[in-house]
Amino acid sequence: MIRDRGGIKWTSMMLPEHVKLLRDWVKEDQYKEKSEMDEQQLELMNDTLSEAMEFDQLVTITHYHNRNYEIVIGKIHYWDELSQKLHIVDRFEEVHGISMGDIVDIRITDR
């Protein structure tokens, strides 16, 4: 009977540096590219942002961070025009500073 141990069998013959490079390579394959926004999407996001700030509503913001997309749900605390960052307070009272260039989507969220 042949007992195949899969990847365990081959890692003993590889240098630790090679194993690390292979793991990094697999991780890099999961990275996502940042998508470009067109004028209509930017205008729609601006309207949603204005409405959420005016009526103090919860928003769901999808933004590009560390080569992946992340989602933040919370209320808009304020807009820092100098650094071009939007400050969001989530449900755990944690403040997130999100650059406007990294925002991909803004939606008003129901409770």
Determine contact, residues 61/103, Cβ cutoff 8 Å: yes
18-57 pLDDT per residue, tens: 888 888 888 877 777 777 888 999 999 999 999 999 999 9
Average pLDDT over the chain reads 86
What does the domain layout of the chain look like in residue ranges? 39-108
Residue type at position 44: L
In terms of residues, how long is the chain? 111
Distances in Å between the Cα of 93 and the Cα atoms of 9, 18, 48 are 48, 43, 22
39-108 has CATH 3.40.50.2300 classification: no
SS3 53: helix
69 pLDDT higher than 70: yes
